[in-house]
Amino acid sequence: QELAQSSTILATGRAALQKRIMALLRKLEHCVNGVQPAWEETFRNWDVLTKILTSYPKTKLEDGTLEPFHRTVGKRRASHQNSEHDLEDQINEWANMTGFLCALGGVCLLRKSPGGRAMLSITDPRKSAILSNPSQEIQYCPVTQFIGHLLRLLVCNNEKFGAQIQKNV
């Protein structure tokens, strides 16, 4: 309810609103319906954009590799021009997705078991059937994959985006 009301509160700007929303997301204590699928969809988009940004300019944004991501997000222009403004939008969007994933990662990592204890959450039943011991679960959990990606990004040396990526991690 507080999250829904946050968009109607007058804020000093977009950054202040985003900061408030992230703070509210971090307050969530339970993985309610919709949180896990939203987190996983955002993670997939974040992963695609991360690969593109870290390999730029080898995979320029206009070469079509970003097109499936654009269709998923559904808010890009038909034009494939990548002005400095467009590149800045991409890194800002990546930073916002990073914040969202960090804010909700904790509640996505844990779910309640029938006995009331917290358990590691694996949403893909095929992966959990393959696993023979609980320590293997951690390797297949999207949240731990995300954390592993973040750790690798701490040393990102991309000429164009490396410093911004490190700052946002």
Q: What is the pLDDT of residue 28?
A: 84
Please give the C-alpha separations between residue 39 and each of 12, 20, 92, 102, in angstroms, as whole numbers.
27, 18, 18, 10
What is the value of pTM for the model shown?
0.67
d(CA 79, CA 100): 27
Residue 68 preceded by cis peptide, ω within 30: no
Nearest to 102 by CA among 43, 32, 14: 43
What averages of pLDDT result for each successive group of 10 residues across the chain (169 residues)?
A: 61 77 84 89 95 80 52 45 76 92 85 44 46 51 89 84 85
- Residue 9 is predicted with a pLDDT of 62
Give the count of beta carbons closer than 10 Å to the beta carbon of residue 50: 22
